Amino acid sequence: MLMGDTWVQSLISAIAAVMAAAQPMVPPTPIAGQPPAQVRKAGNWVGSWATAVTQADRTGLSATGVANTTLRQVVHLSVGGNSVRIRLSNRFGTRPLVVGRTTVVPSKVTAGATPTVEILQILPLTFKGKPAVTIPVGADVISDPVSLSVAEDSDLVISTYFPSATGPLTQHPAGYATAFSAYGEQTTGGGAQYRKIPGMARFVVSEVDVRGSAKGALVLFGDSITDGAASPMDRNLRYPDQLADLLLLRGVGALNAGIAGNRLLANAGSSGEAAIGRFERDVVRRTGVQAVVVLEGINDIRLTRGAISATQVIAAHRQLIARAHAAGLKAYGATLTPYWASAQYTVGGEIARQAVNQWIRTSGEYDGVVDFEAALRDPKSPLQLLPAYDSGDHLHPNAVGFTAMAKAFDLNLVG
């Protein structure tokens, strides 16, 4: 297929339009046994940072867990506030998770990955008034609030001590941030005790809420493109990071709920539960959430090489829209980005992608559209990413492409 063949473009567009028009407008089928979720009413608390958690990998620290060890992790906040609380997750653990002590401290380091903090600013957290907490299998806990002023667009360092063997740890595999570990109880250590953990995963910490003047939060829900694949480590240049900076103009936080390899319709191990299965946990139950941007479906299309149809992808999107609306959230649909010449590319998959995008743009079922395809495609060869935005695998944008994605979001959607 020649990228410049306009007749091919016209054919694909025509087929996409026919397929989109043929979709039956029927209500989504609810997941059996799953109670309706509602947005957590949280007063003036708002999510400032979050990550979507998965089960442990087969190897590495998430698989083995730790014992008598402190993990130190750096999270990049969106909105600021005058009080902080954090969420710890044992959603995918295999045994009750004992947390001996947890501390937080703002970071003034502006470049590079380091565990170094100012000791005198470290603050301990409590859970129902106690420094230690045991998290049941499948559960989360939220810390008590601590009075701490944190600036917008700043870093917070979280240190968590695990006194006994944890077993496999709930994680986020692709955090694009360096984590650190130290032997023993080092939650108040200055940093010299810590060593880098290989890889780029995050462990147990899943959300940071702040109390302040922010209006609410926007969840960016998706796969590796939302997660930040090909993003430089420790630079906070993923599209949700860059959009977070723009959302500050509207007083809205940004929460990244992307998972590399995630699919709409299939569970994928450490690539996360299917999007239709994790939506309530990763979107609806986030603190102060007002709206969600959905960028999901390209993995269902390309990894199955056509076995998943546009009809099935659209039906899944309809489920997400209905569940967002039932919880009082706005839902914005993001068009699937070009993937020509990438691994698993097929003409059938391209037609399905075009059909899904046609439906997102024209059906009116989403409350708004974020046209990432238009922002990233090469005007001369519209089936592929603009070379300046291509990370090299013809699927994932680079940091400049993530900038284009952030700028494609209409800030008027959040007021």
For the stretch 272-281, pLDDT in tens is 999 999 999 9
Task: Kindly state the average pLDDT of the residues 286-307.
Answer: 95
- Give me the pLDDT at residue 13, please: 58
Give yes or no for residue 237 having a pLDDT over 50.
yes
Q: What is the pLDDT of residues 253-268, one digit of tens each?
A: 999 999 999 999 999 9
How many C-beta atoms lie closer than 10 Å to residue 110's C-beta? 7
Q: Which two tokens stand for residue 18?
A: 């026919």
In angstroms and rounded to an integer, the radius of gyration of the C-alpha atoms of the chain is 21
List the Cα angle 195/163/77 in 5-degree steps: 55
Give yes or no for residue 22 having a pLDDT over 50.
no
Task: Kindly state the average pLDDT of the residues 191-211.
Answer: 97
Give yes or no for residue 28 having a pLDDT over 60.
no
pLDDT greater at residue 382 or residue 28: 382
3-state helix, strand, coil in the chain (%, to 5): 25, 25, 45
pLDDT band at 110 (very low <50, low <70, confident <90, very high): low
Give yes or no for residue 135 having a pLDDT over 80.
yes
Task: Kindly state the average pLDDT of the residues 57-74.
Answer: 98
pLDDT band at 33 (very low <50, low <70, confident <90, very high): very low
Q: What is the pLDDT of residues 136-171, one digit of tens each?
A: 999 999 999 999 999 999 999 999 999 999 999 999
pLDDT band at 17 (very low <50, low <70, confident <90, very high): low
Task: Kindly state the average pLDDT of the residues 43-54.
Answer: 94
Phi, psi for 177 (deg, rounded to 5):
-145, 145
Q: Which two tokens stand for residue 24?
A: 């039956």
Give yes or no for residue 129 having a pLDDT over 80.
yes
- Give me the pLDDT at residue 274, please: 98
Phi, psi for 99 (deg, rounded to 5):
-110, 115
Do 223 and 272 form a contact (C-beta atoms < 8 A)? no
Which residues does residue 207 pair with via DSSP β-bridges, in sequence order? 50, 87
137: left (phi over 0), alpha (psi -120 to 50) or beta: beta
pLDDT greater at residue 20 or residue 214: 214
pLDDT band at 108 (very low <50, low <70, confident <90, very high): confident
Q: What is the pLDDT of residues 305-358, one digit of tens each?
A: 878 999 999 999 999 999 999 999 999 999 999 999 999 999 999 999 999 999
Give yes or no for residue 372 having a pLDDT over 90.
yes
pLDDT band at 405 (very low <50, low <70, confident <90, very high): very high
High-pLDDT (> 70) share of the chain, %: 89
Task: Kindly state the average pLDDT of the residues 14-25.
Answer: 48
pLDDT band at 111 (very low <50, low <70, confident <90, very high): low
- Give me the pLDDT at residue 9, please: 59
Give yes or no for residue 3 having a pLDDT over 50.
no
Q: Which amino acid is at 46?
A: V
Give yes or no for residue 395 having a pLDDT over 90.
yes
The side-by-side arrangement of strands in the sheet containing 195-196 is: 123-124, 101-107, 155-162, 69-76, 180-183, 195-196
How many helices (H) and strands (E) would you count in the chain?
10, 22
Give yes or no for residue 189 having a pLDDT over 80.
yes
Do 134 and 97 form a contact (C-beta atoms < 8 A)? yes
Please report which helix (H) or strand (E) contains residue 390, including its range: none
Collapsing DSSP to helix, strand or coil, 71 comes out as strand
Q: Report the mean per-residue pLDDT for the chain.
A: 92
High-pLDDT (> 90) share of the chain, %: 87
- Give me the pLDDT at residue 307, please: 86
- Give me the pLDDT at residue 41, please: 45
- Give me the pLDDT at residue 415, please: 79
Closest CA to 292 of 268, 261, 260, 326: 326
Phi, psi for 217 (deg, rounded to 5):
-135, 150
- Give me the pLDDT at residue 391, please: 98
- Give me the pLDDT at residue 8, please: 54
CA distance 240 to 256: 6
pLDDT band at 173 (very low <50, low <70, confident <90, very high): very high
